[in-house]
Structures are given as C-alpha cells and as structure tokens.
Amino acid sequence: MTNNNQQQAAAVEAAADGRGGLSQAELDELVASSDTGGRSVGGPIGTLLMLVALAWSLFQLYIASPFGLFNDTLARSIHLGFAVFLGIMAFPAARTKFQVALGIIVPLALAALFMVAAKQGIATWWIPLPAIGVAATVILGSPKDRVPIWEWALAIIGALAALYLFLFYREIANRVGAPITQDYVVAVIGILILLEATRRALGLP
C-alpha cells in the first residue's frame, strides 16, 4: 500500500471513529501507529523495552545453542514471561471503541466460563477479581507515549504468572494431577493477562 493510500485509509478510520478533520501531522502519526501498532515511548522506558527485547533475543539464541541448560518446559516459561511483559508494555490497550469493548468483554466472559467449568468443591468467588482488574486497565486508558502505573503492574504480574512454572517447577512436578489453590489462581491470572497481551499485539484474531 502506498503512503497516499495509507493516509486515505487513516482518514477513513479516523472519520469512522469520530475523529474526522485531522491535520496532516495527525494523519501521519495515525499511519505510523497503524503500521507498527506499538507505543512511541522514549527516554529510560524506551531504553528498558529495547533492552528487554534484546535480552529475549539473546535468550532465544542461548537455548537454541548447544550450551543451553534449560529443558523445553522451563525455556517456554521464560519465553512466555518475556512475551507477556513486552506485549503489555510495548502495545497500547486500544485504538478504537471496538477494541476497548473487546478488552472489557473478553476477560469478564472468560471469568464467567472459568466459574461455570470449575470442578465441584473448588472455590470460585475470587475468579472475577483478576478479570475486573484486567478490564479496569483497559478502562483507565493506555496512552501511546508513556506506560501508566497500572500497565506496569499488569505487565509485571503477567510476567510472574508466566514464570510461575520456572520458579516452582519442582513443587509442581511433585504434585502432578493434584493442583493446589495457588496453581489455579496463577493459571487464571496468567491466561487472562496472556489473552490481553495477545489482543493488544495481534488484535481481534
């Protein structure tokens, strides 16, 4: 698609979203945002995101080398920790009203499904709490030029949930087939934040 076509498409998208009449500079920014989808964060935070992405790349090279010491399960846990952290930090929560609605509806609907599908005798009263927390981060807003405190919290909690298997590998291996409440809580939180990070990075699919 040529630059002119991209600008026309951006103008149509802006008009459909109630932001018609944008200046050329604003249209250029919207085109750039559509191309990358990510935040434009500078300063120390931008440097941090670059270093985390670099560390992730180096980790992938390390585990693919003959010197990699992690088994596949632990490597996937670390890989997912990087992915969730960057998915939340590098991408804003929403660019359109539809994406905002999706970011609110999906975690709440998923929490309802978790509660319905839970085994008999397992407490489910806590399941809506992380779902409301994820939805709240979307409602609170997600600027493109900085990372607000609630998204720092979401990214860190999501990364820790992904690293749970790495951190508690022996304990989980010793209770295979008999998860404890802590395992359920981390699993629910991890799935909710993983889906939110995926939604941000990839959109509706």
1-35: per-residue pLDDT in tens?
555 555 565 555 555 455 555 666 665 555 554 44
For the chain, which residues make up each domain, given as ranges? 1-36, 43-202
* 52-59: Cβ within 8 A, 24+ apart: 52/82, 52/85, 52/86, 52/89, 53/86, 53/90, 55/82, 56/82, 56/83, 56/86
Max CA-CA distance within the chain?
62
Q: DSSP letters along 53-82, please?
A: HHHHHHHHHHHHSTT----HHHHHHHHHHH
Residue in 83, 54, 47, 96 with CA at minimum distance from that of residue 155: 83
Q: Which two tokens stand for residue 170?
A: 């022996």
Give the CA distances from residue 64 to residues 52, 57, 61, 85, 167, in Å, rounded to whole numbers and listed in that order. 18, 11, 5, 22, 21
pLDDT at position 57: 96
pLDDT at position 40: 85
DSSP single-letter state for residue 166: H
pLDDT band at 42 (very low <50, low <70, confident <90, very high): confident
pLDDT at position 188: 97
Q: Which residues contact 75 (CB under 8 A, 6 or more apart)?
A: 63, 68
The CA-to-CA distance between both ends of the chain, in Å, stands at: 22
Residue-wise over 14-38: b if at least 16 C-beta within 10 A, else e?
Answer: beeeeeeeeeeeebeebbebeeebb
Which of 94 and 31 is assigned the larger pLDDT?
94
Share of the chain above pLDDT 90, in %: 59
Give the containing element (helix H, strand E) for 129: helix 128-140
Spatial distance between the Cα atoms of 29 and 145, rounded to a whole number of angstroms: 12
Residue in 147, 148, 157, 158 with CA at minimum distance from that of residue 90: 147
pTM for the model? 0.79
Which of 135 and 40 is assigned the larger pLDDT?
135
For residues 108-128, average pLDDT = 92
